[in-house]
Structures are given as structure tokens and as C-alpha cells.
């Protein structure tokens, strides 16, 4: 047989095997692991129990819920508390996906595991689809995501939330199951960065966590109050400090303040970067409040909801803009001189410390001299601006590195980006006001809002050029891709002078 024919034959076999593997995954079903122990295995009994919890909940449903934090213990201990968070969701809300984030109780690994082994999750109330394409996209987006089979097979923390979703939502969208096995802060930020494009109003995030483990009733109430207050601040740093403070107090038998510490931290990173969201505390109890639990060794349970707040725009003051422009210029000067650049931390405001995306653009005599940016924030804004300024000056592959003698002739522009907003029609795109972010699998690309103003392109040209030049798609590739818009607060040194 001709050598090339053999190679083609082998390639066809491989493609067939890959397609077969994907088809098998789509048809594979995860069976319930804790039905009959954590919750009833009989469908009618389970439906009545969950329905009773939801009916008794005090929370009112709203269509503005973007995330919930819910416990994952046996329903006799935490079902009523979990119901308060799920009851906050309007049953008619139609989400595109449900991202399930929880801790690993059975497998040890240093990252996040997405379940690509099963296309369906079963409960006594029926089957739910898994969004395997999004699971694979996360794995392709960052190597911190992988598939660890043992992390999902017998894990209960995501499973126990499913009957609540099935009873509360009229239509349960596909699931994206994520088990987080690391507490490394840098890796949690990478996980949050990969999830950020999906942290939009059309996706629901369900974060599964119990709180204090095994102290006395009174000690649990005190520790859980501190942890809950930190979550209400929506600050991941404050939350992790509260966890550390509880540990430093050496409370008898306090094993952990939150078994879902990692997924909660990831959620708070997402909330902090997004803006326009508020954290609501809905309920608290611990296992000592149940007739089935004692008070010597208890587990705590909180319920929170993250809801959208209308009319809150992210804006910077003149002083904050001036600080960022000075930071950008000093960062370039320091790189040219080889001197370390210190930052006056006394001038840092809460907004300057927020994780925000930003682009830094350099112009010389009115012509582009470099532009580098980050669409979503993975570091505080002032650090992102310093990093992007150096990258624009020395790492833009379109230009030679900036020389010291050029710097007086260079003007610095900064674009601070608002959170991404998913759009479903190009009619929602406003040229000149919105930047565009196109995402299709591993293909991603963006144009800043000012690109449309500078080029005078039509809307179709704006999308077509972005799809082809930035996302690596065809000219019309945007038509079946996910589209997001964002606004940019743009300012430059001419305004500052």
C-alpha cells in the first residue's frame, strides 16, 4: 500500500476513534452517588421534601441572580438553608448554563477538574445535560483545568444541589461541573480568569460549601459570623484573612472555617472584577439546630446570593486617572533605566486595587507606537497598567522597542475596561461606545471601542475584521460565535496636562 494512503487511512481511523470517544462521553451518564443518604432516593419523596423547603423559604425570587453560595450537607441538616438561596432565583429565568463549583472531598490534586466523562447527570428527578463543549474549552483555556475522574465519581457537593435546580427552575440548562482541588492563590486567580468570560447574566454560578467544621455550637456561630461578614464584603482577600484569623484563634475542634474555601474565593474574585453586583446574606444555621444533630460538634451552613444592581457604572476620578498615567510612564522609565519603581500605596483607592482589564496605547506624533492590554483583570488595576505599559513599549511585535530618546515625544493612552456583557443580537452593539469580544471555542479576539471611531467601519466590517484578524476565524465567523460587549473609560496624558 502506498505510504501516503497508509497515513491517510491511519488518520481516518484516529478521527473515527476520537469522534466515537466524544459520542460515548455524550451518552455516558453519571449515576447518583449519595441518593438515599444525603437526600431521598425515591422521586416522589424527594420532590415533596425539596418542594417543602422551597415553599417555606423567606427569600423572594428575582431575575437578577447571577450566583448563589449554598451548603451541601444532608438535607435534614442544611436543606432549608440551601432552599433560601435557590428560592431567590426567579423560576422563569432562562440561563444558558449552570456552572457548579465545589471542593474536592475524595481526590487530592492541585488545580480544577471539569467533568468531560459524562454527558448527563442523573438524579431521582431525571437527567440533566452536561455542556461538554464548555468543559473542554476551559481545559484548552488554561492548563490549571484538567479531568480528574476520582474528583467527580463519588463527590457529593455538586450532586446535592441538582434536585433544587430541578424543582426551582422551569428549564434547567446544561451543567458545567467544576471541582477545585487547590488553595494556591495564583492558581485560583487563573481559574477565575478562565471563568470570567462566562460570568455574565445569562449564566448561573452555584458555589457549594459548608462552613465551620466540628467546633461547639457557640464557637461555630462566632466563627461563621466572621466568615460570613467577610463574604459580604465581596473581597477575596478579606475572606481569606477571616479564614486565617479563625485558624489563629485555635478554636477547639475547628477543622476548617469553610470546606469550599477555594470555590468561594474564585467567586469573590469574579464578583470583585465584574462590578455592579451585590452580595446578599439569606440564611444561617448549623447542624446543632437540627433535631438530628448534637451541639458539641457541629457544621455551619450559610446561604448567599449575588444579584445585579442596576445603574452602577464603573468610573474613575481625575486623581485616579492621573495616578494611572503617572504609573504607566514611570513603569516605562524604570524599564529603560533599569531602576526599580516604587508605588505610593497611600494613594491607592479601592478602584485602583480592583482586578480590572486595561489596555495601554502609545502614540508618537499622532501615530501608533504600541498597544498591549488585558481584556479581563487578573491583578489590581494599577499593577495591570504598569505591566501593560511596559509591554506596549517593549513587547508589541509590530514595533521595535521604545528608546529612551523617544519617550518625551510619546503620549500614553489608557483604556480601563468594564465587565463583559453577553449580547444575543448585533443590534445591541453600539459602534464607538462598545468594544467587542468574540469567543468560539479556543478562538478569541477583541477590538476596543475606539477602533470603530478611528476606522469608520460599518458594524459588519467591525465584526468581520475582529473575527478574521483577532480571533482567527473566517470573516463571517462571528455569526455563530459568542459575542460580548464592554465599555472603556479612555483617558490620556493630554487630558492630564
pLDDT for the residue numbered 277? 83
pLDDT digits (tens, 9 = 90+) for 457-479: 989 999 999 999 999 999 999 99
Residue 162 has pLDDT above 70, yes or no: yes
| pTM for the predicted model, two decimal places | 0.65
pLDDT for the residue numbered 368? 92
140: number of Cβ within 10 Å: 11
pLDDT digits (tens, 9 = 90+) for 15-42: 554 444 444 577 899 999 999 999 999 9
pLDDT digits (tens, 9 = 90+) for 178-198: 999 999 999 999 999 999 989
Stretch 119-124: mean pLDDT: 96
Range 318-496 has CATH code 3.30.700.20: yes
Stretch 56-75: mean pLDDT: 92
pLDDT for the residue numbered 380? 86
In this predicted structure, which of 34-48, 161-175, 205-219, 264-278 has the lowest mean pLDDT? 264-278
Residue 377 has pLDDT above 80, yes or no: no
More confident residue, 97 or 378: 97
* Class of the CATH domain delimited by 28-308: alpha beta
Residue 9 has pLDDT above 60, yes or no: no
More confident residue, 388 or 376: 388
Residue 8 has pLDDT above 70, yes or no: no
How far apart are alpha carbons 190 and 266 in whole angstroms? 9
In this predicted structure, which of 235-244, 285-294, 384-393, 483-492 has the lowest mean pLDDT? 483-492
Residue 352 has pLDDT above 60, yes or no: yes
pLDDT for the residue numbered 357? 85
pLDDT digits (tens, 9 = 90+) for 284-309: 999 999 999 999 999 999 999 999 87
pLDDT for the residue numbered 479? 94
How is the chain split into domains, by residue range? 28-308, 318-496
Stretch 330-350: mean pLDDT: 83
Q: Are strands 358-364 and 367-374 parallel, antiparallel or unpaired?
A: antiparallel
3-state secondary structure the chain: CCHHHHHHHHHHHHHHHHHHHHHHHHHCEECCCCECCCECCCHHHHHHHHHHHHHHCCCCCECCEEEEEECCCCHHHHHHHHHHHHHCECCCCCCCEEEEEEECCCCCCCCEEECCCCCEEEECCEEEEECHHHHHHHHHHCCCEECCCHHHHCCCCCHHHHHHHHHHCCCCCCEEEEEECCCCHHHHHHHHHHHHHHCCCCEEEEEECCCCECCCHHHHHHHHHHHHHHHHCCCHHHHHHHHHHHHHCCCCCCCCCCCCHHHHHHHHHHHHHHCCEEEEEEEEEEHHHCCCCCCCCCEEEEEEEEEECCCCCCCCCHHHHHHHHHHHHHHHHHHHHCCCCCCCHHHCCHHHHCECCEEEEEEECCEEEEEEEECCCCCEHHHHHHHHHHHHHHCCCCCCCCCHHHHHHEEEEEEEECCCEEECCHHHCCCCCCEEEEEECCEEEEECHHHHHHHCCCHHHHHHHHHHHHCCCCCCHHHHCEEEEECEEEEEHHHHC
pLDDT for the residue numbered 20? 43
More confident residue, 376 or 108: 108
CA 277 to chain centroid, in Å, comes to 13
CB neighbour list of residue 34: distance below 8 Å, 6 or more residues apart: 156, 159, 160
pLDDT for the residue numbered 73? 96
For the chain, give the mean pLDDT. 89
Residue 264 has pLDDT above 60, yes or no: yes
Residue 100 has pLDDT above 80, yes or no: yes
pLDDT for the residue numbered 7? 55
More confident residue, 11 or 283: 283
pLDDT for the residue numbered 22? 46
Stretch 320-329: mean pLDDT: 94
CA 274 to chain centroid, in Å, comes to 9
Amino acid at each position: 500500500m502506498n505510504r501516503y494512503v497508509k497515513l491517510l487511512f491511519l488518520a481516518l481511523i484516529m478521527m473515527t476513534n476520537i469522534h466515537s470517544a466524544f459520542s460515548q462521553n455524550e451518552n455516558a451518564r453519571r449515576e447518583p452517588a449519595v441518593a438515599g443518604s444525603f437526600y431521598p432516593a425515591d422521586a416522589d419523596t424527594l420532590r415533596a421534601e425539596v418542594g417543602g423547603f422551597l415553599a417555606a423559604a423567606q427569600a423572594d425570587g428575582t431575575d437578577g441572580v447571577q450566583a448563589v453560595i449554598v451548603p451541601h450537607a444532608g438535607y435534614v441538616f442544611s436543606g432549608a438553608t440551601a432552599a433560601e438561596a435557590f428560592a431567590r432565583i426567579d423560576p422563569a429565568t432562562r440561563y444558558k448554563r449552570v456552572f457548579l463549583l465545589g471542593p474536592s472531598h475524595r481526590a487530592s490534586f492541585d488545580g480544577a477538574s471539569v467533568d468531560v466523562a459524562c454527558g448527563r447527570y442523573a438524579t431521582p428527578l431525571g437527567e440533566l445535560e452536561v455542556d461538554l463543549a464548555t468543559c473542554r474549552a476551559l481545559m484548552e483555556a488554561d492548563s490549571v483545568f484538567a479531568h480528574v475522574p476520582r474528583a467527580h465519581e463519588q463527590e457529593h457537593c455538586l450532586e446535592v444541589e441538582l434536585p433544587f435546580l430541578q424543582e426551582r427552575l422551569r428549564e434547567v440548562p446544561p451543567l458545567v461541573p467544576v471541582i477545585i482541588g487547590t488553595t494556591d492563590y495564583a492558581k485560583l486567580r487563573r481559574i477565575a480568569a478562565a471563568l470570567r468570560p462566562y460570568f455574565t447574566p445569562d449564566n448561573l454560578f452555584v458555589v457549594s460549601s459548608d462552613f465551620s467544621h466540628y467546633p461547639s455550637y457557640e464557637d461555630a456561630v462566632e466563627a461563621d459570623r466572621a466568615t460570613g461578614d467577610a463574604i459580604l464584603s465581596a473581597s477575596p482577600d478579606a475572606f481569606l484573612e477571616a479564614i486565617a484569623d479563625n485558624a489563629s484563634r485555635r478554636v477547639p475542634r475547628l477543622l476548617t472555617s469553610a470546606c469550599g474555601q477555594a470555590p468561594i474565593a474564585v467567586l469573590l474574585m469574579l464578583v470583585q472584577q465584574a462590578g455592579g453586583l451585590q452580595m446578599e446574606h439569606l440564611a444561617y444555621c448549623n447542624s446543632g439546630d437540627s433535631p438530628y444533630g448534637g451541639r458539641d460538634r457541629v457544621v455551619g451552613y450559610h446561604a448567599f446570593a449575588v444579584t445585579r444592581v442596576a445603574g452602577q457604572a464603573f468610573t474613575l476620578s481625575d486623581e485616579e486617572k492621573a495616578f494611572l498615567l503617572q504609573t504607566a510612564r514611570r513603569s516605562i522609565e524604570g524599564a529603560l533605566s533599569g531602576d526599580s519603581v516604587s508605588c505610593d500605596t497611600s494613594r491607592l483607592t479601592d478602584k485602583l486595587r480592583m482586578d480590572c482589564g486595561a489596555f495601554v496605547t502609545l502614540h508618537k506624533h499622532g501615530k501608533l507606537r504600541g498597544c498591549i492590554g488585558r481584556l479581563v483583570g487578573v491583578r489590581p488595576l494599577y499593577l495591570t497598567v504598569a505591566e501593560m505599559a511596559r509591554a506596549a513599549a517593549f513587547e508589541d511585535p509590530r514595533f521595535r522597542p521604545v528608546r529612551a530618546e523617544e519617550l518625551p515625544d510619546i503620549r500614553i493612552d489608557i483604556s480601563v475596561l468594564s465587565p463583559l456583557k453577553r449580547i444575543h443580537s448585533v443590534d445591541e452593539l453600539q459602534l464607538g461606545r462598545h468594544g467587542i469580544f468574540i469567543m468560539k471555542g479556543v478562538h478569541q479576539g477583541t477590538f476596543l471601542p475606539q477602533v470603530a471611531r478611528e476606522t469608520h467601519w460599518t458594524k459588519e466590517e467591525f465584526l468581520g475584521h475582529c473575527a478574521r484578524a483577532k480571533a482567527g476565524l473566517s470573516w463571517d465567523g462571528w455569526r455563530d460565535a459568542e459575542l460580548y460587549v464592554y465599555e472603556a473609560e479612555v483617558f490620556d496624558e493630554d487630558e492630564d496636562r
